[in-house]
Amino acid sequence: MEQDLTQYLDYVLIAMMFAVGIAVVRMRNLFAAVMLTGVYSLLSAAWFVSLDAVDVAFTEAAVGAGIGTVLMLAAMLLTAREAKETSPGRHWAALGVVVVAGGALLFAVPDMPVYGDAHSPANSGVGLDYLNETPNDIAVPNVVTAVLASYRGYDTMGETTVVFAAAVAVMLMLGMGRRRRRTGGNGAGKAKVEDQT
Amino acid sequence: MKKHLILRVVSKLLIPLIILYGLYVQFHGDFGAGGGFQAGVIIAVSVILYALIFGMDAAQEAVPPWLIKIGTASGVIVFAGVGFITMLMGGNFLDYDVLHPDLAHRAGQHMGILWVEIGVLLTVTSVMIAVFYAFAGRVPDMSDEEW
Amino acid sequence: MFELLSERFIYIPIIILLMTGLYVVVATGNLVKRLVGLSLFQTSVCLMYIAIGKVFGGTPPILADTHGEDAGHGPDPAASVVAGHRASDDHAEIATDTGAHAADTVATAHEPVAAAAAEHGVQLVEHATELAHHAAIYSNPLPHVLILTAIVVGVATLAVGLALVVRIQEAYGSIEDDDLNSADYAVETGGAE
């Protein structure tokens, strides 16, 4: 099997992602955990580039590392900055869940398509048709845009609607545009005032 | 917010460039990496940067919440509207080929993709700004010492 | 078994990363940190999808030669791709024929030489199929599209989750699920409040 030299870059990225993931597990300071999530997103964006998914890398870097981190920081400011220590029993329970779920996934690995194989079932189906037909049907160079906007236009319309619905839900829950001056009092008292309006 | 002179000057320089880059990503999405989703997020980031540096009041003056509320819905309407226009012109829903008679160069497809991406851009930009406003509107202005 | 796993080696670290996210979700009671874990989990799922769509030696699925001055006048890239496929299929056939022929002719004389010749033919075939795919290799664009939208929807749903957490904080004064459980229990039994 022919292998790219970029695989060594991949291994470095994977090692860094492991380090970041374990740091997030151990971190109780929420600020650090949220910032490390941003780092994780950026590392995975780098890996997406190595996996030829430049559009996805672009989105992940802008959305995951940018907006996602900002939102989690804002939520952290409104809630708590420190997570409570969890009991050892809970850690063991989590370990059990992870071992069972991970074992099931590892059991399924031999059934996965071969990595990097152009003839695997995943890569020889409709994806190949999109690649071959895009110059005739759509005539734009970026196949991802062609599939996103034209071949799978319904899909994208649904996604846009989901994003819109999410924004409506957030606006309903948190309100918007009313810049409130903090005049004292704690969070619970304010929530009651909010509910009456 | 009288301090942070460097941040204010640099962000004033950067924000127009960020918006310009977002527009490049939007309209160059057919040819290279990019598209409505990424461009929407980048343009939203420019507003978020403005709000972080100059405060929420200034940002809401520049980009008022009512505009954002209209934007979230109008993006979906533009997207679905393209579909209905193609139906009115005799095609299937979101079948862009009927939009333009020049089938050799697939001009209809290009027009359809352009408008659909504009719809995506509107929704994603507005949604990201709306969500940021919703969260940041609850955070009281922080003093620097709190960090 | 070893080959079976070595060809799919890349999935194993991704699964471990997935499990790291799941561990954070289960092991912490803090709701914000749970959402942090969930977003790690989501990013890892995206990685798995994209890894499936990767083709060795491939390039990002942005077709060459349709952009710039040559667009419209140059050769149609799809046609050239298909032509490339056909040409090298022919090539492969010829190679097979030659290989088989060589095998036939020499078979009577020397058995080992024939085997070598046949093997050479097989190598030629492999080379030809490789050529066929060198005509234009792009990674599979379909997972990219699915994941691209999934990331944006993911951050929108993350925002909904965080908004719920903020409201929980305002209503209960805590986001640790132990505290929430005991507060709910107190309300149900009419005890503390």
Summarize pLDDT for C8-20 with one digit per residue, the tens: 888 999 999 999 9
Report the pLDDT averaged over residues A163-188.
71
Average pLDDT over every residue of A158-168: 94
Mutate to test the interface with B, among C152, C158, C166 (most CBs of B within 10 A): C152
**Which residue range is the domain that position B99 belongs to?**
5-140
Single out the residue of A48, A58, A142, A132 nearest to residue C50, CA to CA.
A48
CA terminus-to-terminus distance, chain B: 15
State whether residue B71 sits within 8 Å of chain A by CB: no
- Chain centroid, CA A122 distance in Å: 22
For residue C164, is pLDDT > 60?
A: yes
Question: Do C123 and C143 fall within a single domain?
Answer: no
Average pLDDT taken over every residue of chain A? 85
CB C141 within 8 A of CB A143: yes
pLDDT at B55: 85
pLDDT at C94 over 70: no
Shortest distance between the Cα of A122 and any Cα of chain C, in A, equals 7
- Answer yes or no: do C163 and C181 share one domain: yes
Which pLDDT score, from 0 to 100, does residue A118 have? 85
Query: In terms of domains, do C169 and C127 share one?
Result: no
Which residue(s) pair with C176 in the sheet? C30
C41 falls within a domain: yes
Least confident segment among A172-181, C31-40, C161-170? A172-181
Per-residue pLDDT tens over the stretch A39-89: 999 999 999 998 989 999 999 999 988 899 999 999 998 888 888 888 889
Residue B69 lies in a domain: yes
Residues 6+ apart with CB under 8 A from A110: C4, C5, C8
Which CATH number do you get for residue C153?
1.10.287.3510
Give residue-wise pLDDT tens across range A99-122: 999 999 999 998 888 888 888 888
* Structure confidence at residue A164 (pLDDT): 95
Best of B28, B46, B138 to substitute, by most chain A Cβ atoms within 10 angstroms, is: B138
**Nearest C-alpha in A relative to C7:** A114
Is it the case that residue B7 has pLDDT exceeding 60? yes
- Asked whether residue C43 falls in the same domain as residue C1, the answer is yes
Task: Classify residue C68: in a domain, yes or no.
Answer: no
Task: Say yes or no to pLDDT of A196 above 80.
Answer: no
Question: How far apart are the CA of C3 and the nearest CA of chain A, in angstroms?
Answer: 10
Mean pLDDT (whole number) for C52-75: 66
Interface-testing mutation among A48, A49, A67, with chain B (most B C-beta atoms within 10 A): A67
pLDDT tens by residue, A15-48: 999 999 999 999 889 999 999 999 999 999 999 9
From B96-100, B114-118, C102-106, C132-136, the region with the lowest mean pLDDT: C102-106
Q: Quick check: B138 and C166 CB within 8 A?
A: yes
The encoded tokens of residue A184 equal 């004292």
One domain, residues C169 and C186: yes
Q: Please tell me the total count of domains within chain C.
A: 2
Which chain C residues touch A76 with a CB distance below 8 Å?
32
Q: How confident is the model at residue C95 (pLDDT cuts 50, 70, 90)?
A: very low
Q: Do the Cβ atoms of C40 and C26 come closer than 8 Å? A: no
Burial class (CB in 10 A: 0-12, 13-18, 19+), C192: exposed
**Chains A–C, number of C-beta pairs less than 8 Å apart:** 319
SS (H, E, C) chain B: CCCCHHHHHHHHHHHHHHHHHHHHHHHCCCCCCCCHHHHHHHHHHHHHHHHHHHCHHHHHHHCCHHHHHHHHHHHHHHHHHHHHHHHHCCCCCCCHHHHCCCCCCCHHHHHHHHHHHHHHHHHHHHHHHHHHHHHHCCCCCCCHHHC
The per-residue pLDDT for C118 is 53
pLDDT at C86: 39
pLDDT band at B22 (very low <50, low <70, confident <90, very high): very high
Residue where a domain terminates, one of C97, C122, C137: C137
Mean pLDDT confidence for C116-137: 52
- Judged by CB atoms closer than 8 Å, whether chains meet at B41 and C166 is answered as no
| B147 domain-assigned | no
Cβ–Cβ below 8 Å for A67 and B109 = no
Range of the domain at C183: 1-60+139-193
Domain contains B82: yes
Check CB contact of B32 with chain C, cutoff 8 Å. yes
Q: Give the number of B-C residue pairs with CB atoms closer than 8 Å.
A: 21
Number of domains chain B is built from: 1
Last residue of a domain, one of C122, C137, C152: C137
Q: What CA–CA distances, in Å, run from C94 to C35, C87, C121? A: 59, 11, 10
The topology under which CATH files domain A1-84 is: Four Helix Bundle (Hemerythrin (Met), subunit A) (1.20.120)
Least confident window among B139-143, C32-36, C43-47: B139-143
Q: What's the pLDDT score for residue A167?
A: 94
Distance, in Å, from the CA atom of C158 to the CA atom of C146, rounded to the nearest integer, reads 18
Q: Can you tell me the distance from the alpha carbon of B73 to that of A165, in angstroms, rounded to the nearest whole number?
A: 9
Above pLDDT 90, what percent of chain A? 48
